[in-house]
Every structure is written in structure tokens, then in C-alpha cells.
Chain A
Amino acid sequence: MTNSQPEMKRFEALDELLPPLSANEAAVESARCLMCYDAPCTHACPTHIDIPKFIKKIGTGNLRGSARTILEANLLGATCARVCPVQELCEGACVLGAEHKPIAIGRLQRHAMDFAYGTGIGLFHPAKATGEKAAVIGAGPAGLSCAGELAKLGHRVTLFERRELAGGLSTYGIIGLREPLEVALAEVAMVEKLGVKLETGQELGTNLTQAQLQGEFGAVFLSVGLGATPSLGIPGEEHILDGLEYIEQSKVDVSRLVVGRNVVVIGAGNTAIDCATVARRLGATQVTMIYRRTEMEMTAYSHEYDFIKREGVSFAFLTQPVRVHAENGAVKALACVRMRLGNADASGRPAPRPVEGSEFVIVADQIVKAIGQEKPSLAAQLKLKTEKGFIQVNAEFETNLPGVYAGGDCIRARGAASTVMAVQDGKLAARAIHERLVGRG
């Protein structure tokens, strides 16, 4: 499994896919926006950015005002401009979508964000110090959003992160094609500049205790995300790579990422598609995604599915892995069985059942699994109430423990988990925490 591509080529292969808009392109696109009143794009955006407002500011050359409009509603505007499933959100709701082309809202937002980060202008100044302290556990999108909003309100915020780098999935889990590492890290730096104290290598339950937190801080926000990729429970699973780790390596240590020639990706969600993209772009000649249901049930966004088909990835639907064939530690093939769809299961989707005697083999020298993530383990540890395994919160994002709030993927019992939803959780939780902190004084 040698990779003959020079290192530079490998880096370029995962460079950001969409080029930035030129100033002229942005002006033309901004002029095309109708400036709808009470616009559906704003309604569709989970953080309700006033989209016509920021777009028209681009048109008038008020990029500073444009960036501020975005960041006031969504502190992680630069990440969201790149990773949001805009087809399902703002752009999907654009009134021009039906007969024309919707406005390229994501790319216009990136234009304004690139200006803000490129010029390094400080758009926000923290309010007068309140003397209150809050802790945020987990520096992913929800945590950064909550910490940043609390700092803006004048609170002293400490942001604890178990990993070496902050940013969560923006840093480790989104392929460079959609969001370069620097963008995620620039947002972390912006939040720190607001006064948030970042402490990495700190994990609740190992070197940080609940008692410590509750003793020192007036409120705690948990934005711990989800756990590892679950086990498939098949022989030879130890030879299967974890999809999230695969993506992580493609971002932070691409030179050491070994990519097979014949790669099988198990799963058909957005992470699985990202894994297949990495494999294909870093030199795999054959990439096959296998999924036990059909394309009708796959959880990936339809635009992502369209994208990966164009990348030259093949699909094996109604296929379930049963065993890994390996020789001397090297993967040789994946044995699978055919499935057929039965009655709906708990998720409302038809339950797949194995077809007897249908076993077959897919030749592979690398197998990656991306079949979702484990529920947050912290819930049990902290004796938090849960809903379907996710941390349960009320309308104010408060858990059953008073003063302990939660948001982001770890509470996403309903609806699709996404960065922008996490940002909104963090923002709303920060408002609730602020009420608690200043109300108490």
C-alpha cells in the first residue's frame, strides 16, 4: 500500500472545493437577491441570520456591517458558510429557487466572513464584567458559540476541551474539501479574543470533576458531542478503521494517512460520504460504499449523495458486512450478505433482513466504518436524565441538574445534528445562563 503521489498533491487533493467569490461575483449575486421581507431563508436558518440584510450590505460595500450581521446571529458564521446543508436550509427556502437559481447564500456569507477574518477587525467588545463565572465543557460548535456569547455578555468563561485542539468536529470531523482546518482554528481564536479562557487536555470525569466545576462556576454548559463509532460486532472488526479517525487524520496529519487501493466504506451517512471522498481523492482506485438499506433510506443529504456519485464511488445497497478476511494483519476482503427490506422498525424505516445463502465477498485492502456515533457516555456518569440516550434538557437547555445546561449533538434526540443547530443551542443556552447568573446576583 504505497502511495506514489507527492505530498503536495495529497494536500491539494483535499483543498477547499469551492473557490471564494470574487468581489464582482459577490456584487452581482447580491444584486440578484430580492430582499424578501420576513424572508424564508432567515426563517429556515436555525440561527435566523438576517440573510437579506447581510447580502444587501455586501451590495453596498458595507462588508464590516455584513459580517457583523452574520456574527450577531451566529458566532461561527465562517464554519456555517462552508458546512451548512444550505440546500436543506436557507437556499432551499429561497423564493428564487422554484423558477431560477436560489441565491448563493452560503458563498456570500463566506465572502463576508473571509473579509472579517482577513482584515482581523474586532467586531465585538465584551460588555462590562459581571464578575460571574461559567464553564463550558467541550469546544465544538455548541461550546464555542455558548462560550463566545457568554463572554460578550461580560461573564468570565472557561472553555474545557479534552482534545489538543479546540473546534470539535469543525477541526477534526469535517473534511478539508468543505472546511479547511485554519477556518475552524480562526474561529477558536476569535472566541478566545472575546475573553474566553481555553483549557485543552481537560476531560470531565478524568482530570476534571463535577464537584470542582460546580464549586467554582455559577453555571456549566455541556457540549460534549457524541461518542465513538459503534461496534459492528463482526469477526475481524479489529481490522476496520474508524471513519471519524480516518477523517481526522486527513485533516491534521494527512502525510501519515495510509489509503488503500480498494476501499470499502460501511455506512451511507454524511460521514461515510466524507470517508469515501478522502479515500477517492487520496488515491484509491476503487471505493465502494455499502449500506444495509437502499438509497431511499440513506441519511446523507441528497446533494452529498449526488456529489459522491460524481466522485466515481460505487454503491452496494442492501448489503451487510458479516466478516473481515485478513492475512497477516492485512485486509483482503469483506464478506457480506444481501438484505431485503421488511416492516418499519423503531426509526420508522423498513428493517433490513438478511437473505439466506446470499453471502458474497468484496475484495478490499482497507475497510472504514462510519455508522453513526455512540450516545454521550457522560450522561450516566453525571446521573443526567436522558431521552433516547441523549441528554435531556428543557426549553432553556437546562438539564435535570440545576445550573447544568447542555446543547449540541449530545442533546439532539430529534432532528438532524448539524453545526448550525449546535451554534443555535449554544446561543440560546447562553441567554438562559445569563439570566441565571445576573438574575441570581
Chain B
Amino acid sequence: MQVHRAFEAGWGGAVWKTIGAPVLNVSNRYGAWHYGGQKMLAINNVELISDRPLEVNLREIADVKRAWPDRAVIVSAMVESKPETWHDIIRKIQDTGADGIELNYGCPHGMSERGMGSAVGQVPEYCEQITRWVMEVAKIPVIVKLTPNISDIVMPARAAVAAGAHALSLINTINSIIGVDLDNLEITPNIGGKGGHGGYAGPAVKPIALNMLVALGRDSVVSESKLPISGMGGISTWRDAAEFLLLGASSLQVCTAVMHYGFRIVEDLCDGLSNWMEEKGFAKISDVVGRSLHRVSDFGDFDLSFRAVARIDQKKCIRCNLCYVACNDTAHQCIDLIAKDGSVVQPRSYDIQANGKEEAVGTRPSVYVREADCVGCRLCYNVCPVEDCIHMVEEPSGRQAITWGQLSKSQRAVTEDWEEMRKYREKMGIHIH
């Protein structure tokens, strides 16, 4: 029923999660991280795979597929690591008429204790072996879903490529403990007095997912395989969707945002994305996929002579002084409070007897960046609550472009010795106070 409703709402496909080994679930299976009045910036779950009987799932998959022939139904599967068990589940899935299979090598809790999920995904050799078993019988596309709970996500991806998988998807949930209840000191969520690690997902994980997506896109083995990548991990709005596409995902999956707001969110995911594509002159999704990937670089290839400084738009500034405290307490101390008469003043320098809104607003100093001392760290830009108030302005540094990579080749001593570095800075006019 839920998949029917999702399709009615406009979703192009569904990943039917996850069928396979017999399980029993527990209560209080979702924890959530709320911050600053925002609910569910992330969710964590100790839910296992589907606890409904396998036969019921298979029958319903067949029903849905019959009713919605134009929508993609992918079935996520996870069984014990035996060839015959995998062969059996793959055949059963194929019999439903499903469009594809996703191999769940990601689940970081419960199933992994039984040698499934991330227990597979964390060992590239297991990944490859099981995918090979699957490919022996698979007649429909097979997607390998990767776990982020690994040092280098490229390794299991290469294993999937080697085994002949048709596509990759990432990321699965990240291992996490959501918190401790400060009233009773129990772990959240509380499962009969106990708690444990679960899979972390939702808006907060998006940057981690993007980084892993890029890691695949930049790996020669994975990119040369030309396997399509299905991206997920915190996609909530069309903006998130566009970023995943730009960094190389050609299809997208959404879960936490739907758990939070329901199927209706697909409307703006499509509408916003379409409007943005139209504005940018992109006719189809493939025009967008991977378009920003070439801009991802390593530190050693950044131009050390590129210079940007923060500039505050005094007309927009509301004088909250958040940039001031951020810069002075934790950054380069180059923002000053300037009084009406042009003098630099210290915070809280008003008379203890002074009060009233006219006095407080009228005598409030302005914040100015001493651009000569600004290293362009961009912290003030990030803390500013006003849109378009602080700009990072590109300023000519007067130096020729050079990267750390080039420097360590051409002037190796500078990159290894502080005294040589001092001389180099002096020569180049690099002043860091």
C-alpha cells in the first residue's frame, strides 16, 4: 500500500527494503538527533530487514509491479553468505517481475552481527565473492550498495566492479550512538534498559555521502567501468538532489526525508530540480550528472596564490557581532568594532548607567574587516545570519599561481624546513601575523 501511495505521489521507483533472512525487530528502534529547534537533522535506527514473511513481500512486489509497469521496482536483498541461499533469493525476486536487485552490504547493526550487511561490505573480498554468486543467476540489473563504515569506500566498489555488478549505490547508514538520556542515564533509544549502535542517516550525513560519491567518481577503476551510481544520504530537497547529480550520481534515493514529511516531498524535488535545470539550460538529467566532478581536486593542486578576503556589506549588517566574536575568539582576529567617530572600541565599553533602545542601537559600533590581515578563512561568512551580507571578495595577491605540488617539486626545501619557508614568504611577500 505504501509503495502504491508513493507512486501516486509521483516517485519514479521504489527500493523494496530489505528482504531475505528471517528476523524479529524490537521496539524503540529509531533514535533522532534534533538541534536548535530543528527536528530530526538525523535519524538512527536499529531496525533490521523486513520482518514480514518473505512470501508476503514477494507477492506484494509482483502486485505492485503489475499495477505500475512504468515505475522501477528494485528489490533489496540480504541473506546468509552461502551461494545456494543467494541463488534462491535472486530467483525468487526475478520471478516477481521486479526491475532490479540491490545487494544490501551496508546494514551496520544486527544483521552485521550475523555476518550479513556491513560485515560483507567492509571486506572487499566478501563483496566480490557474493556478487559473483549473484551474477551467476541474475537476469536483471544488480546494484551493489556500499557501506560508509569503512576507511576507503573505493575498495568495495572496485570489488563490485570486478564481480561484474551492473551498478553501485551509496551510502548506507553510518554507525552511530544517538545519545544518552540525561534523566535516567539510559542509552537513547531505550530498548528495555539497553541501547546500542545503529545506522545514522538524514540531512546531517549529506556531506559525508557527497565525499564518498566523489571518491568513486575520481577512482580510475570505478569511473572507467562506467557503472551508474545511485546516490543517497541525506537528500531532502531538490538542492541536495542537484548536488548529488552534479557530483556523479545518475539516480537518487530518498528515505529519511520521506520518513519525516511523507511521500509528498517528491513534488518539490522534481519541480525545484526542473526549474533549476531550465534556468541553467540543462535539457536532461544526463546533462547534469557529474558536471562538477572535474572541479574536485586535491589540496596539493590548489593555487596557493589565490586570495579572497571577507567584506561586510554595512547596509545589510544587523550588528549581531557574530562575525566579530568568531574571528576574534577562534580565527585570525582581523575584525574590529568601529565606533561612530571612527575609533576602534572594545566590546561592552558602554557606561553601566546607559540604557534604552536608542542608546543601544544608536551607539552600537560597526564591524569592519582589516583586509590586509584577513587570511580569507571564511568563518565570518559562515556564521553571518544575514544573506548576502558578508562576501568573500577575490583580491589579486600579486603572486604567480603555484600549487603545493609544484612547490614541493621546484623548491623542495621550502616545504620541509621552516627557515626556508620564512625566506620564501619574505621573498613572495606572504605576511601571516
Contact = CB atoms under 8 A, between A and B. Distances in A.
Interface of A: 27-28, 30-32, 34-41, 43-46, 48, 59, 87-89, 92-93, 95-96, 98-99, 421, 424, 428
Interface in B349-377: 350, 352-357, 359-361, 363-364
Chain B interface, DSSP helix/strand/loop, else mixed: loop
A37 B355 contact: no
Nearest to B317: A95
Contacts of A40: 319, 357, 360-361, 364
A43 B359 contact: yes
20 contacts: A28-B37, A30-B37, A32-B37, A35-B322, A38-B348, A39-B321, A40-B361, A41-B360, A43-B363, A44-B355, A44-B356, A44-B359, A44-B361, A48-B355, A59-B37, A88-B357, A89-B357, A93-B361, A424-B355, A428-B352
A31 B37 contact: yes
Nearest to B345: A38
Nearest to A32: B37
Contacts, number: 76
A37 B347 contact: yes
Nearest to A48: B352
Given A43-B350, A59-B36, A89 B320 contact: no
Most buried by A among B321, B322, B356, B359: B356
Contacts of A30: 37
B44 to A, nearest CB: 21
Given A35-B322, A40-B357, 17 more contacts: A27-B37, A31-B36, A31-B38, A32-B37, A36-B319, A37-B325, A40-B364, A43-B354, A43-B363, A44-B355, A44-B359, A44-B361, A46-B356, A87-B357, A88-B356, A95-B320, A98-B318
B365 to A, nearest CB: 9
Contacts of B355: 43-46, 48, 89, 421, 424
A35 B350 CA distance: 19
B12 interface: no
Contacts of A98: 318
Contacts of A421: 355
Nearest to B346: A38
A48 B337 CA distance: 20
B65 to A, nearest CB: 44
B385 interface: yes
A77 B9 CA distance: 52
A36 B357 contact: no
Nearest to B337: A38
Contacts of A88: 356-357
Contacts of A99: 318
A132 to B, nearest CB: 24
Interface in B383-422: 385
B381 interface: no
Interface in B1-47: 36-38
A93 B350 CA distance: 15
A38 B337 CA distance: 11
Contacts of B318: 95-96, 98-99
A28 B35 CA distance: 11
Nearest to B321: A37
What are the 4 tightest A-B residue pairs by CB atom distance, in nearest-first order? A31-B37, A92-B357, A44-B360, A38-B347
B321 A38 contact: yes
A38 B352 CA distance: 13
Contacts of A35: 322
Nearest to A41: B360
A35 B320 CA distance: 8
